[in-house]
Structure 1
């Protein structure tokens, strides 16, 4: 990934929209903190506050986040996490199977997780491609 190419792509995709400045601010914050954020779940609300975004811009932040998670952009990875006497990462395939079968099983103990939809949370982590990207975001 080349950050200069990424910025051009973002401008082409979001030119003349209210989302463009939000993506730019979030991306700049991620870039500045990428060594600190490596392999760390990102709290998007805190990141947005750090970027100077207000709560009234939530819809724009959601659009920006969806865009940055998209496989063709791949700045953020979506991660499913189960908090149950520790933190356990759950794969998208496991979530898919659980939704299909109606049951999610603990990755270590094998016991069924009741109401797993309420127990699994989403978080975001920086992609390795973004962490290792060439170029700079100004």
Structure 2
């Protein structure tokens, strides 16, 4: 099947790879189908979560663990049930990025991860409570940004 995408124009996708978001994503509740596309041809922690039906709706997402190795997203029983998660190995976690001119100025929404059951192709953006994570967490900490610039 062919879809129009925000960043790469027409792309052929396999219908089996469409991720169903039963309630859409916050602010885009009518958008129920997304596809995870590679950000680039080379290996990268970054992806594009592209709406299947609306070409202009796409989120740059990443697996958070490369930048935030201690990151944890505790899933409630309700989320586990909604996504029909039976095995923790079927769970993929992504965070939405806000990209700026440089990586140092870019941020990640660590308090609202996207959780996907990769076996059932079901997804949901959740809101973590009782956490110190925020919606605009810097990708690169100031001390890290200065390394290697001497």
The TM-score, its normalising length taken from structure 1, stands at 0.26
Higher-strand-fraction structure: 2
Higher-helix-fraction structure: 1
The TM-score, its normalising length taken from structure 2, stands at 0.25
